[in-house]
Chains A and B, each alone.
Chain A
């Protein structure tokens, strides 16, 4: 079974802090994704990566950056957290264009 893990299930941070969200997948998938999910807005793509050190902006990259130094790990960085970044963050991975598997999510609250 594909397993996608995220470093934290719940996280509380203060405005202005730098926040790191880590994601690890164990199935040697090329593609990895970061989404945020908000009520009424659905899943929105922040960034994705189709190879080590490669990244592509998604629909809402502003205020975020990513890092992919190893194939199995994809990190999302909030450079200076703001209250409007309070959300559920979901990491996913996929093999080519096929099935995409999600992690359990990180519920981030920015105070």
Chain B
């Protein structure tokens, strides 16, 4: 079983839709959770960073962590064509530890 599972998509939505992206994980020691956006042929860009459980909001983006269910989500409100990219989740247990990545979900927002 992989440490982090993420639906690869692709996910296609109309402009203005609410998008929900999700990851599940198996290691209860994970405490640090990240979402990255990656455009084609570019490096991943950090979107959201959360420590432990709870919600975090930044503009149109909301990250949620449910440690009891080992489940994290990224919501994108009022999605735009410029949001079309691959979204990667990542997590870590702490210092001197590796980061574990999901395989990425490809999102396409249609004008």
Contacts and interface: CB of A to CB of B under 8 A. Distances in A.
Contacts of B43: 4, 90, 102-105
Interface residues on B, range: 20 to 34
Given A97-B94, A98-B49, A99-B46, A107 B101 contact: no
A100 B34 contact: yes
Given A100-B90, A107-B41, A42 B49 contact: no
B88 A43 contact: yes
A29 B46 CA distance: 16
Nearest to B44: A102
Interface residues of A, number: 22
A98 B32 contact: yes
Interface string B43-58: 1111001010000000
Contacts, number: 53
B42 A100 contact: no
A24 to B, nearest CB: 14
Contacts of A64: none
Nearest to B88: A43
Interface in A56-111: 58, 88, 90, 94, 96-105, 107
A4 B97 CA distance: 20
Which of A4, A42, A94, A101 gathers most chain B CB within 10 Å?
A42
Contacts of B34: 99-100
25 contacts: A4-B43, A42-B101, A42-B102, A42-B104, A43-B44, A43-B88, A45-B98, A45-B99, A50-B95, A58-B98, A90-B43, A94-B99, A97-B32, A97-B92, A97-B94, A97-B95, A98-B51, A99-B46, A99-B49, A100-B34, A100-B90, A100-B99, A101-B46, A102-B45, A102-B46
Interface of A: 4, 33, 42-43, 45, 48, 50, 58, 88, 90, 94, 96-105, 107
